[in-house]
Amino acid sequence: MALQHVICEGIVQEEHFQHVFERLRNLCCGSDTEETLHQWELAYADKSASKKADVRARCDIKDASDSGNGVDGADRKWRMVYLGKPSKHLTNLPKVISVVREEVSIDVSDNVQNFLSAMGYRFDFELVRRGHRFIYPGHNNMHVEIFKLHKLSQRHMLKSEEILSKEHWLVQMWATCGDQKHLKDIYPVVGTFVDTLKPYFLQAQ
């Protein structure tokens, strides 16, 4: 099912991380969850003339023992995400919203690379996110991820992770809805979370 994602992105300086982390943790209650985030992402672009949507293949690395190499290792569970283009027809977006786009997420097997190649996509780049994920189902399935990015110095080899910046944490937060008619109800939800993290959260422009 395609969902509209209302997204805000920004950074938190290293010295302010603990303040932000505690605020996010204090918002958790009931069905809300806090998880360790260790996610491997492969980015694919359309190599044909049709310019299909960009695709991400994502896999959550569950524990420290899962440090093997190769996309098809360690019984990994992959998820393929089609990223729609930012909605250009939406006007007067609140400043707190970085982008609104449609996304489709599908569970796939570990032959995802071969499948995407057959579909006309080419491998573009890969990265690893390490940090924390908070999920708030009662707030339009609000997600907040605060993480540091790592590159792989050797293609598809998790053991070659190298952190890109020790000074900043990246923050991505989003809420979802199934119909564009309800987007205006989502904007304040995202805005409330952004306000909660101020003044430590610096929104990307």
Q: What is the C-alpha end-to-end distance of the chain, expressed in Å?
A: 30
Element (H, E) at 115: helix 112-118
Provide the 3-class DSSP secondary structure of residue 89.
Answer: coil
pTM attached to this predicted model:
0.90
Q: What is the CATH number of the domain that holds 36?
A: 2.40.320.10
Which burial class, exposed, middle or buried, applies to 97 when counting CB atoms under 10 A from its CB (0-12, 13-18, 19+)?
buried
Task: Tell me the C-alpha distance between 80 and 103, whole Å.
Answer: 10
Note down the domain range covering 55.
Answer: 3-203
Instruction: Tell me the pLDDT tens digit for each residue of 38-61.
Output: 999 999 988 775 667 789 999 998
Q: How far apart (Å, rounded) are the C-alpha atoms in residues 178 and 124? A: 29
**Interval 92-137: pLDDT, tens:** 889 999 999 999 999 998 888 888 988 889 999 999 999 999 999 8
Number of domains in the chain: 1
